Every structure is written in structure tokens, then in C-alpha cells.
Amino acid sequence: MQRKAANERGLLATNGIHVREGVLRVKYLFLLGCSFVAAAPALADESAGGDAAGGARNIGITVVASGQSEPVDATGQSVSVVGAEEIASVQGPDVTRVLQRLPGVVFSRNGGMGGFTGVRVRGAASEQVLVLIDGVRVADVSSPSGGYDFGNLMSGNIEKVELLRGSNSTVWGSEAIGGVLAVTTREVDGVEGSAEYGARDSLYATAAAGISRETHAATLTAGYARDDGFSALSSGTEPDGYRQWQLSGKGRVAVAPGLTLRAAARYADSKLDLDFFGDSLDVQTARQFSGQAGLDYTGDALDLSAGFSLADTHRVYDNPVWGSYDYKGRDERAELKGRWHMRESLALVFGAEHEWSRYSGTFDPRQKANATSGHALLQYNREGVNLAAGVRIDDHSGFGSEWTFGSNGSVALVDGWRLRASYGEGFKAPTLYQLYGFAGNTALAPERSRSYEAGIEKGDRNAGLHIAATVFRRDAKNLIDYLDCFGSSDPLCAGGAFGVYINIGKARAEGFELELGTAVTERFRAQASYSYVKTENRTPGDANAGNDLARRPRHAVTIAADWRTPLHDLTLGADLRLVGDSYDDAANATRLDSYVLVALRASLPVTETVELFGRVENVGDTHYQTAAGYNTPGRSAYFGARARF
């Protein structure tokens, strides 16, 4: 099965994988089991909560399940939340080092810092994961696949990351096939700053200033990242550098009892050297802006939120042979959502929105589309029983109407344990490029999915003790593929077309996830996650049917530990990441070998306001690839300082 282009850079394939299962599965389960044994002394003591670095880890509120704030244990869906203290403990600008701690998550990157980075959740394509920053959808609508490039997202100003695994278009609409990932930026009270320097003459610095009170808050954050890099392509010789300037701000003010005015905005200007057949001929400049403004009302029986958001991406490519060319994409959205507390245990979550999107490029005339949607979700919460079921309709100017359904539930057992299960449907609208661009097809239908999961869980990942086991399956159909018309007699190829996008693909992803996190003592905390994800191309009549999808390793393990020593509260940490082998292509002919990465971290408070930190990534100097033909960094050391006043 030939796959669609995943990004304008033409750097991301989207099919095929194979894994050496027997030895790898035993090895990974053994290592995960070792971490379970190491944590055993705390299994009987849930009161040992708290961060190994000394801070609270009580982060139990999420919005990704229903679109409204609620406790993580009030939903039957798989939700993980990572807070600011854990993000800071991981260190560095690379947000994927945080995300890979979560089960079901793998990523691929084309080269070093700033290279195109796709994040996959439970075997879904990277463009099938909805990404939100401060509530704004930030996918690049000018790219062929309409996905989000995590290469330009730095971790320095992030307060919280929430990840829902599984289809949830009932609440979120298009793109929420593999899951929903929501990033919330920081709200600061005072002045903060950090800077680190390290390998490849890299520099990452952030600064923030703000005020935070019960009735009002305002924060302004700036960041700068630079890395001289290395050759992105394995065949290249010269380094491919990267730099980014970033500015963000957010604020809120209570304008009346129960009524709050809020706003948030983010701007990033990035410049990346791109390899072309071994030489850096292209330079990509990307300018990204996203923002939202709105009103929130909280009443006795009714909560309402109304807002308008904007996401704009402008990519410019400069090539000494072909000259300069660019792509522009913009998505605007007006929405109203809320929750009506009909009774003490019964609530109705609802929402409606209208979207305007458009894109254009040097070689593409301006195209646009709009969509209107509405959804309703009925929730029942009483005495440890949480149930929800809902429906959504989306009407798109390009393909008509789509209905999606979803339901989930959880039941409290004893001693903090609960059973949970969910069913979710997802869809992804064809992108403007797929509808109207080169090889466009206005007859395309949305990609669709159905996902099922069941699990048992104790606590959440930020509690003193967290144990979870989940089984899942997702079936997808109408996947949009690129049909090469060379030598094809397909009627769609009539008229001399080089190729055309069509709905033909089918796929399945299934597996299980295991999680454990525990505060062994007040000073030592360990956590681990293991994911087994088997993907399969199930497209009828396709030559590659039965193969694994590309860049979806079946095995992934992350183990992390932090120890706050009695000596000056020095904190020592370590991260172990194991990823199984996979294939880079639909035919399962190009192998990506398994790899093991170890990172060591340390931080030392010098005063109450100043802290020194440092780390070594890829301690073993492992040579590995997440995308065939692209290099990855070797052993790298960094050191820095942060201060807060």
C-alpha cells in the first residue's frame, strides 16, 4: 500500500514495521519487572506521595476526556497527565523526552533539533493525533497530511501535558483518531529564567515574568534555542543547524462574579537547515502563531465557555537552485461549550463550533473550507460509578456530514482500584491539499476509526502509588493513500494525472499497556511503562496487506527514577528507553533496528531561588535511527542553571 506524503518536506513515510518478538518481549518484560521489584517496598504505602525532588505531584485534573475540567479518575478513558515539576526534572527543550514516558507513545525525527518530528499514539499515524496548545488546534493545514510538527515545540514554558489515548472525535472532532494531546503553558507569579549550554554548541534559554492572583493573572514568556547540529542525512557531511525565537503570553481577569475574560497567544520563528541528497541546499523558515480569547462563566448549575481561536503557519523554503517557495495555512474557529448540572449526579456536556480554514502556496492557488459541528455528552457520576455517552455531528463544505459516537465508564472497587472501559469513534477530514492540491480529489471521504479498550487502575501516574493495565484495539478504514498513476489503468488516473489521493486503506492496531509509579521513600521515586502495539495493514488486495505499519515498533519501555540525596538535596535521576525494531517502508524491506538509550540527570539547589542542573543523553553513544537514512545524536552533555524570584 502506497502511503500519502506526511509532510511537505517529504521526509516521513507512513507504513510498515516488523519486530523480532520472542527475545525482545522477554527482555523488555524482564526489565519492566525489575523496576516493579525495585518499587516493591512502597506498594503497601500509598502515603509516600510527593515528588522525589520534594514537590507535590498531585496533578489529577484533565480536559481531554470531555472538554471540561474533571478528575482523571472520573473517566473510563486512558488519560495521562504530566506536570511542570516532572517536565523540569527531565530537562532540555526536547518535549519528546517527556512524551516517551507515557505508554503507547513513539516518535520519529528527521535529523537533529528542529527536524520534522512525528508523534504516534497506539500505532496511529502522527497526523491522526489532535494537538492543542492552550486550547488551540495547531495542526498545519497547509501540509499535505495536516499534522503537527513537534520539532518546533520546546518544553521550557509548558505547565502541563495531557494525553488521551484512543479515538475521541465525539468530543474533539477531526484528527482525534489516535488520541488527543493538550499542552498548557505556564502561569507565573514573579520572575523566572533558565539557560543551558551543551553539545554541538547548543544553547537553550527561557525567561518569564508574571503575576498570578485569584481574580487576575498575566504572564509573558520568551525563549531562544540554537543548535549547530549534525548532518541530518546519513549520506551528508556538513552540520545542519537550527534556531528558534519564541514568545508567548497569557492572562485572565474576573470581570464579574463567576465571569472571567481570558486570552493566550504563542509565536515561534524557526530556521532549519535541510539536507537534499546529502547537501544542505534548503533552508526552511517557519513562522507559527496561535492564540485564543474568550469568556468563561461558572454558575450554580451551568458552566459556559465561549471563544475564538486562530492558528497560522507560514513555511518558506530557500533553495539556491530552485529559488524560494512557500506555503501558508490558517485555521480560525469560533466555539461555545459548557456543562449543565441537571442533577447532583447527572450532567450534560455540550458544544458547538464553526471552523474556517484556508491554505495557499507558491505552486497552489488559495483554497478554503469551512465546517460546523455540535456535540452532546451525558455524564453520570455517583458513589464511584462514572458513566458517559455522547454523539457528534460535523458538516464539512468539502465532504458533507459525519456522525460519531462514544461512551466510557469506570467503577470504583476497593482500596483505590477501579475498572474502566471505553468505546470511541474517530474521523479525520481530508486536508485542503488532499482535496484541492497536487493529486487532489474532491470526492475524498474522511478517514474513520473505532477503538475499544478496557483496563484496571489504581491511582494516577502522579499519585504515591500508580498501577495500570490496559488492553486496546483500533480499526481504521477509508485511510487516504496516494495512488501512483504510472502504468495504472485506474479511471481516476485518466487525463494524464501523475497520481491521485484515494480512500483505500484499512488498518488495525491492538495491544496492551502496563504502568507503574511509586514513591519508594520520601526521597526516591520510580516509574515505568511498557507498551506492546501490533499494527497491521488490512487493505484488501494490497500487495503489502498483512505487513506492519511503518515506524510502529511493537515494543517500547521507559523506566525513570529520581533520588533526592540527603547531601544538600542533590537530586540524581536516570531514564532508560528501549524501543523495538521496526520497518521504515510499506513492503517491510527496510529495517530500523531496536535500540536502548540511557540518560543521566542531576540538579542541585544552590540557594532557595537558584538551582544548577546537568545531564548526559545517550550515555552509551548508541547509533540508532527513528527514520531510515537520518542521523540521530550521539552522546551529548549539557549543563545549566535556573532561577526564580
pLDDT of 580 strictly over 50: yes
So what's the pLDDT on residue 278? 59
Among 21-35, 446-460, 579-593, which stretch is predicted with the lowest mean pLDDT?
A: 21-35
Q: pLDDT higher for 50 or 313?
A: 313
Q: Are 231 and 237 in contact (CB under 8 A)?
A: yes
What are the DSSP calls for 208-227, one per residue?
Answer: EEEEE-SSEEEEEEEEEEEE
Measured between alpha carbons, how far is residue 177 from residues 77, 121, 166, 181, 278 in Å? 14, 9, 7, 11, 35
Q: Does domain 21-644 have CATH number 3.30.56.10?
A: no
The predicted pLDDT at position 495 comes to 65
Measure the N-to-C terminal CA separation of the chain; round to a whole number of Å.
Answer: 56
The helix (H) or strand (E) run that includes residue 516 is strand 499-519
State the chain's mean pLDDT as an integer. Answer: 89
At 280 the pLDDT is 60
- Residues in contact with 14: Cβ distance below 8 Å, sequence separation at least 6, in sequence order: 3, 4, 6, 125, 126, 145, 549, 550, 551
Q: Name the pTM for this structure.
A: 0.90
> E-assigned strands of 129-258?
129-133, 136-137, 158-165, 179-185, 190-198, 202-212, 216-230, 240-256
Mind listing the pLDDT tens digit for each residue in 76-105? Answer: 999 999 999 999 999 999 999 999 999 999
CB 463 within 8 A of CB 57: yes
Read off the C-alpha cell for 576: 532508560
User: Where along the chain do its domains lie?
Assistant: 21-644
* Per-residue DSSP letter, 545: T
- In this prediction, residue 15 carries a pLDDT of 35
